[in-house]
A = this chain, B = another copy of it.
């Protein structure tokens, strides 16, 4: 099934081309149970469910203004070349929704999360673009439907439509209308996420390509979908019971299992830098010392720490540069 076929089922047709300016914000999200593998690459449908936590005020803010001739992009005050990855992907996304062929957009985007942090800005970016389009084009769709549309731009963007803990339902339908995100009811005010930037080097390979390469070549990938099913169910239960130890162990184990599938890919995909390994050792040492902190790690070398407010001091002592987020504060 194609994106236009899915969109035709969700988005009202033949709305007049608007002229106003709209602004929308969506938070970044960090997966505690990872999205790693697509059953449908066209629609970004996952092979397994995933579960994330949104980062409050850290995310992407986008302003859309209709304009002439071609799409224009400004990110954090800088003009982007139309050939750059974000511009190309965003324009391809707009192509799905333009009211007429000569309808173009001026996009002014600002990431409130350091881009260098290697945090998936495509998730918050496509979520914010979807929210802005909903406003600009007058769709009046609910968040669940917007989550489906955002997924068509970038898989994990569907989770950035919501605050707090968010699950992304794997779904079964070929059109993916049952594969959307929704928030979990649990609030956890003293939970903290710490962002530790270890390298600003460019990644050796983007996460989309890494995911596809791993699925195609890693002999251990066969065991990944069942791993996620188990972790996902256990994480939901740990969140419901506010069992932090279990949540931390599961998130760390799930992230390492994802990186393990990449390590076994042929050739291997290694996002881990020597600095990442050192930071992992430091996390283990902190834990052995009574400071309960866990890490998770995405398709990049940086670590995201999970801890509770009372342990902040010990963590800052070891990671003075950590940027701390209170997702429920």
Contacts and interface: CB of A to CB of B under 8 A. Distances in A.
A227 B264 CA distance: 10
Which 7 pairs from chain A and chain B are nearest by CB? Answer: A274-B274, A260-B260, A219-B227, A260-B264, A257-B264, A223-B223, A260-B263
Given A219-B230, A249-B266, A256-B264, 7 more contacts: A219-B226, A220-B224, A253-B264, A253-B266, A260-B264, A263-B263, A274-B278
B280 A277 contact: no
A294 to B, nearest CB: 11
B277 A256 contact: no
State the copy count for this chain.
2
Contacts of A224: 220
A22 interface: no
Nearest to A266: B253
A249 B266 CA distance: 8
Contact of A220 (B227, B230, B274): B227
Contacts of A280: 270
For the side of the interface on A, what is the size category? Answer: 20 to 34
A109 B184 CA distance: 63
Interface string A103-118: 0000000000000000
A177 interface: no
A259 B220 CA distance: 11
A259 B259 CA distance: 11
Contacts of A272: 277
A45 to B, nearest CB: 22
Contact of A222 (B223, B249, B253, B273): B223
A278 B277 CA distance: 11
A93 interface: no
Contacts of A256: 263-264, 268
Contacts of A267: 249, 253
A293 B267 CA distance: 14
B257 A219 contact: yes
A222 B268 CA distance: 19
A275 interface: yes
B277 A273 contact: yes
A63 interface: no
A52 interface: no
A222 to B, nearest CB: 4
A36 interface: no
B268 A253 contact: yes
12 contacts: A219-B257, A220-B227, A220-B257, A220-B261, A222-B226, A252-B268, A253-B266, A253-B268, A256-B263, A256-B264, A260-B261, A260-B264
Contact of A270 (B226, B273, B277): B277
Nearest to A217: B253
A221 interface: yes
Contacts of A270: 277, 280
A259 B227 CA distance: 17
